[in-house]
Amino acid sequence: MYDKKYTIIGWNDYLSKRGAYSEAYNLQSKYSSYINVLDGYKLISDDIDKIHDNSKRVIYTYQDTTNYRKKNLIHIKYYHEDIVYCRYEINPGVKYKTTNGFSSYKSNSSFVNYVPMLLPTEFKYNTNVITDKIVLGYYYRPVYRYDDFIMFCNFVKELNIDVELYVMGGYSSPYPFDKLNSHIKNIIYTKDNNIFFSNITHYVYSESEVHDPYPTTLQEAVNTNKQIIFLEKNRNFKDGISDIKELIKYHTYLDTEIYHDNSDCILN
């Protein structure tokens, strides 16, 4: 008789493969002896009773509970034992509209076991090393972080040294950032955060006007000890970007003379 594992049912939209879905797989990679991850997007015909019979506990991690209801993966008879993690949701159609997950949880009062965060603090990416080769990283999300895209384009236009660029995100047609500045010698587009954080030396992140309760990629950049460049902007509010910024050492422009070590940061 094999030992049952905790089963995390994530939701993969097949665009960015980020957020709650990637967090679930990060947990599985760290605790593979205890955790198994299932893709809620694919589980159309699976029997939720069978999943529960073969699991020690079922954990749901999502933004929108209606996704699982359409697939018949959430059943009222398991509400008392399922663990629910509602990741924050950003509404791209409404300016500044975002939630921290609690609104989704409160709208489903039958759920008994709720946790506010499922995010491992250790990642199996290459940590940063001091090198003459500068490889910038940018998370491309122009749909709901419109000002972030403009700020990064302006940053690229002002580059005066040769760099390579890794671009991560969900996109139908990758943006040709190298057309903005000839100092960008090579661009790699990827949706894989392992590839992204294993190759970049500097992560560029803007202080967007769009509220971000918790920027997961900033956490990953800190955990892999990348040089972090904040594109600053005057904002009249604080969010997860502000929280992380207060805890780390960072740049505000591409500085090749100063190396910030965040390996001892409290976020690690």
Confidence (pLDDT) at 129: 58
Question: Does 72 fall in a domain?
Answer: yes
Question: Does 127 fall in a domain?
Answer: no
Structural domain for 178, as ranges: 135-245
Torsion angles phi and psi, residue 190, rounded to 5: -150, 155
Question: Does 13 fall in a domain?
Answer: yes
Alpha-carbon span 122 to 27, nearest angstrom: 9
Question: Does 261 fall in a domain?
Answer: no
Confidence (pLDDT) at 159: 97
pLDDT in tens, 112-132: 665 655 555 455 556 655 567
Residue identified by tokens 């040294």 is 161
Three-state secondary-structure class, residue 56? strand
CB 202 within 8 A of CB 137: yes
Task: Write out the two tokens for 243.
Answer: 């929280």
pTM score: 0.67
CATH number at residue 234: 3.40.50.10470
184 and 227 in a single domain? The answer is yes
- Work out the angle at residue 211's Cα, subtended by the Cα atoms of residues 107 and 265, and round it to the nearest 5 degrees: 105
Question: Does 185 fall in a domain?
Answer: yes
Confidence (pLDDT) at 98: 47
CB 169 within 8 A of CB 192: no
Question: Does 106 fall in a domain?
Answer: yes
Alpha-carbon span 41 to 61, nearest angstrom: 12
How many domains would you assign to the chain?
2
